[in-house]
Homo-oligomer: A and B are copies of this chain.
Amino acid sequence: MFLSTRRAVLAGCMSLGLLATTTASPAAPPAADPLPSWNAGPAKAAITTYVARVTAQGPEFVPPPERIAVFDNDGTLWAEQPIYFQFAFAMERIGQMVAKDPTLRQKPAFGAIADRDQAAMAKLSEKDLIEAVFAVQVGLTTAEYQAVARAWFDQARHPRFHMPYAALTYQPQLELLTYLRGAGFKTYIVSGGEVQFMRVFAEQAYGVPPEQVIGSSLTSKFEIRDGKGVLVSQPALGSMDDGAGKPSNIDLHIGRAPLVAVGNSDGDLQMLQYSASSTRPSLQILVHHDDAAREYAYDRQSKIGKLDKALDEAGVRGWTVVSMKSDWKTVFASKP
């Protein structure tokens, strides 16, 4: 079925109404533990040791402008099961679009998705599914599309946790973002999720401003409407920010190899390889979802967020693998 597609196009969301209360990541007082939701252990030690190395005067000191940290989003900063949150949004939106205009059923995927026809959905190609996800924004201006997404965030609830998607960000990662920024790192999201969609929640949820969000995209066309210049999404892929597309987009948008790279799936492998290729000391982190009780447990066989090759490479290269179960004291920013 459509869950089989691992294209991070099908990415995250967040209920803005709740962000102010769910994502507070209090600044740690000096000398206090900057990562209170991380248990002591090799992962936490790898992070704090690395930051100490590159910020202290000495041979490994890295000038602040070169301190770039990149984070995947789905499965790295918030949950991605049972389906990428952006895909949950797209499914609901497609249902609304088909109800309004039944001729849309002629498009591949639309009828199957609108009807929640599992058998028909299982037969869809990945191409059809990606087109369907992107189709919800074609013809809309950036502002119009973001308003639709925002409305969905405000009412959508996760099927298992019955929480707004906003609440399903990871508290330890919010602390890590804050800690790195405090150490002079510029923090970016580099995700397969669609870029304008992520910008609806990234600043409030993560403290990451729009210009530090990199994602998949459609092309856009500049038009003057009612005397105002707007960007209208076109039915053509701009870039797919997954796998090898991530380092390409990092090179295009940032122009430096990131020194810290954090991911959770094979779609992040090349981003971590690229980070590890820096001439500066660098740090690669993989979140391993091994906590079925508090979140989900999945890796090599998962259809969403498959972690297989990257896990092997982490072993060979000594990358830091974070066990959600043992390294994180708490999982979500807000209690389910």
Interface string of A104-123 (1 = CB under 8 A from B): 00000000000000000000
Chain B residues in 8 Å Cβ range of A252: 195, 217, 220, 238
Shortest A235–chain B CB gap in Å is: 15
Contact B255–A224 (Cβ < 8 Å):
no
Interface string of A186-203 (1 = CB under 8 A from B): 100000000110010001
Contact B251–A142 (Cβ < 8 Å):
yes
User: CA of A273 to CA of B228 in the docked complex: distance in angstroms?
Assistant: 8
Chain B residues in 8 Å Cβ range of A248: 219-222, 231
Chain B residues in 8 Å Cβ range of A247: 222, 229, 231
Q: Taking the complex as formed, is A65 at the interface, i.e. its CB lies under 8 A from any CB of chain B?
A: yes
A contact set with B: CB distance below 8 Å: 65, 68, 142, 186, 195-196, 199, 203, 209-211, 213, 217, 219-222, 224, 228-231, 238, 244, 247-248, 251-257, 270, 273-274, 276-277
Most buried by B among A199, A224, A229: A229
Given the known interface contacts A229-B274, A229-B277, A274-B229, the answer about A220 and B251 at a Cβ–Cβ threshold of 8 Å is yes
User: CA of A210 to CA of B257 in the docked complex: distance in angstroms?
Assistant: 11
Residue of B nearest to A225 (CB): B277
Shortest A111–chain B CB gap in Å is: 32
Shortest A317–chain B CB gap in Å is: 10
Chain B residues in 8 Å Cβ range of A142: 251, 255
Which 8 A-B residue pairings sit nearest by Cβ, starting from the closest? A210-B255, A222-B244, A229-B274, A228-B277, A229-B277, A231-B251, A229-B273, A222-B247
Extra 7 A-B pairs, beta carbons < 8 Å, given A211-B254, A211-B256: A142-B251, A195-B252, A211-B255, A220-B248, A221-B248, A229-B257, A231-B247
Contact B277–A230 (Cβ < 8 Å):
yes
Chain B residues in 8 Å Cβ range of A274: 222, 229
User: CA of A144 to CA of B276 in the docked complex: distance in angstroms?
Assistant: 19
Residue of B nearest to A146 (CB): B255
Given the known interface contacts A211-B186, A251-B220, the answer about A270 and B231 at a Cβ–Cβ threshold of 8 Å is no
Chain B residues in 8 Å Cβ range of A228: 277
Shortest A11–chain B CB gap in Å is: 16
User: CA of A257 to CA of B251 in the docked complex: distance in angstroms?
Assistant: 23
Residue of B nearest to A219 (CB): B248
17 pairs of residues in contact across A and B, judged by CB atoms under 8 Å: A65-B203, A65-B209, A186-B211, A210-B255, A211-B253, A219-B248, A220-B251, A221-B248, A222-B270, A224-B273, A229-B257, A229-B270, A229-B274, A229-B277, A230-B277, A231-B247, A231-B248
